Structure 1
Amino acid sequence: MTATQRRLLARRGVNWGDLAFKLLLRLCLAVAVAFLVTLLGYVVHKGWSRLDPRLWENFPSIRRPERAGARSALFGSLWVIGLTAVICLPVGILGAIYLEEYADHRRWYNRLIELNIANLAAIPSIVYGILGLGVIARGFGLGTTVLTASITLSLLVLPIVIIASREAIRAVPGEIRNASYGLGATKWQTIWRQVLPSAVPGMATGSILALSRAAGEAAPLLLLGGLTYVAYVPDGLLSGYTVLPIQIYGWISQSREAFHDLASAAIVLLLLVIITMNSIAIYVRNRSQKRW
């Protein structure tokens, strides 16, 4: 704090309530960061011996943990999350465009849709697993496949994508829309060429956060019958699968310490996948901001 700031505070008087609140916020942030650093340090330290090519090149092994890997779980996660993005992102973004640009909020059914979206965002993930098991896996006869898992996770993160996309569209200044209309553009041309490009940064951030949550979900996939031991890579939408969270759960459940080290290494691998996804979102956001 400079001498000028001290003199100004002396003249105006220090607001001790504001100062205490700022200190409390900083303390909470420091505690959260300390726990995060401690957790990451423990996981990296415990799994360091298995952070080598065996982890992503070898398939799981029940009897020989020193040769076991997470190849099937890694590619299963990429299949499931990739298909989840293909399903939920177009639906979520188009739903946000309708609710924000076209929907008449005086209509009861539009208000009902908004209420349901807000409620669905707070439902526990295990409930979506029950829905996927009863309706998608058994009702539609898709079984425990990559497609079933992707549809279930799409339903799980769809409200998040819609809410984030609506906020991004709402943040676009009204002057952009008015200028486009003044030049003779139609409503759809204004949305496609002006509103959506300006909203891409917010949409990208919200979408990747939603997919990151889907990448870390294990409860609904366990309920759907995701396997903890798969010695093959998925080869299609109707193939069996496992994902990294399920594989980690399976290794943690083992009694031998070598499997626990392997699970810690798989946690680091999962974090790297999520960090890569977030890096892509940051790149898209920054590129869009520079362009517009």
Structure 2
Amino acid sequence: MDFLVQMGLSDFLAQYSLPWLLGLTVALLITGIVAGLLAGLLGVGGGIVIVPVLYHLFTLLGVDPEVRMHVAVGTSLATIIPTSIISARAHRKRGSFDKHLLRRLIPSVLVGVVIGAVASHWLSGEVLTTLFAMIALLVAANMGLRKEALLLRDALPGAFGTSLIGSGIGGISTLMGIGGGTLSVPILSAFKTPMHVAVGTGAALGMVISLPGAIGFLINGVDVVNRPPFTVGYINLAGLALIVPMTMLLAPYGARLAHSVDARRLRQLFALFLFLTALRMLYGLSH
């Protein structure tokens, strides 16, 4: 009981009606469903959906703007841990998983995760939100407007160039609260990695990014004031409990769809959603 009081249960329940709380619960469950499907289908880890939805839900709840984005990102990283494991296993069973490529990327990705986690401690909520929105706009443009994948060269560069790529994927993904597939899939495709292999390897990178990234946000949020109820560090337990079961359940189905349907139209619709969401976040910062 003392724990529940400390987490703000009584104060939280007193502020909102039962229908409102049920609506919030349904919204989080739907978020998990969509994030799980997209994690398997597009290799995007789900965080690209979870972060903006949590951000807007926390806005409705009146959460302090200085911690709103940090909690959305930290919670998203925590939800990606089991999702990426399920998604990566499903892709591995279907042969769309390059362990040699993964081994090349893991060390530099981990370096990027550490840099991103440390940087997040010093960045304001406004800076984090702006970063997410701007990169989301670039991702939306890449997914929605490009008919064919950008091709830079026939293989990844040498050790130094690959290290820069891995560090960038790890650092930016950690700051955005995404699993890595959102950035790694188009980047690997640009170096002539087959799309199914890029998606499967991107899903595996989600495991590499999300666990240490979530730990970093957990530590960074200790003793921070004005966090929403049920939050440990920068990880919201309510969002975690409602989103994770849905993502774990739906990720394998998304992986199956990736091998059976043409996902181009879905990518375009998702790009539109991402574009509108990013604009809404930028608009909210200016008002």
Q: Shared topology, TM-score over 0.5?
A: no
Calculate the TM-score normalised by the size of structure 1. 0.32
Larger relative contact order, structure 1 or 2 (CA cutoff 8 Å, min sep 6): 2
Calculate the TM-score normalised by the size of structure 2. 0.32
